[in-house]
A and B are shown apart, each in its own frame.
Chain A
Amino acid sequence: MSDTCFNVLINVLRGIQPDLAERSIAREDSMVVLGIDSVDRLEVLLLAMEELHVDASLTRFHGAANLGELADMLHACRTG
């Protein structure tokens, strides 16, 4: 399951943007909709990859439409 990856993403996201602490975040939410700028989005991904011990090219994560899809991609890297 990619739940672990999703939870890591949410924790990293809230660490970077504490003003999201009280907001519920769903798999269907995108970081763009949450107001995260392009560089912060990269930082979230890099920190999540570090925590999940994922070593992959950033280009592999292009096209993720929302946090759920991004979590699935991270999960695929861990198991693939």
Chain B
Amino acid sequence: MSLLGIILTFSLVDNIVLTRLLGICPCVGAPGGMRAAVGTSAATALLMSLSTLAAWVLETFVLQPLDIDFLRTPAFVLSVAGIAGFLDWVARRTVPQLLRLAGIPLAGIAFNCATVGVAIIAAKGGFNAPQSLLVGLAAGAGFFIALSLLTAIRERLEVEKVPEWLRGLPLHLISAGLLAYAFMAFDRAFLSRLFRGW
């Protein structure tokens, strides 16, 4: 798969939130407006790219040579958690004011099923090191697209008149569902015709 193909696939066609349905909790339930969304997405994209790279290293140099595939889940989960903890530590030392948006540590938000899921998808996809890094970045961009669209919808819905029993999270989930239908327009065949040879 070419680099453009990876970017388009992981940010639009196989959008981690709206097509794979991973990381719904931070997208639907995260507090705060657009600024918090940008911060969360940046942290998630950084963590995703580092963890896909770590997943590639683990897969190529540890799991495959030693033939211990069955330890993939613990290895990936713990390495991603370790990277999240390390990023949290670095951010706390260098830019403490950036770290906490809405009172929640960013690394805590960024460590979710989407991050671990991308690491597993990238490792199983058989990519090389730069491609793995790009998969993480593209998936992070996809996460940003989904989260910013959902945040914008949520901000609009807050001033609308909606049925009381749907107000809040149920309505966010329904709008995420409708957005997921909209993302089905990013079809693999359609995009491959647009960008020949990806």
- Whether A and B are associated in the same complex: the answer reads no
- List the interface of chain A (C-beta within 8 A of B): none
- List the interface of chain B (C-beta within 8 A of A): none
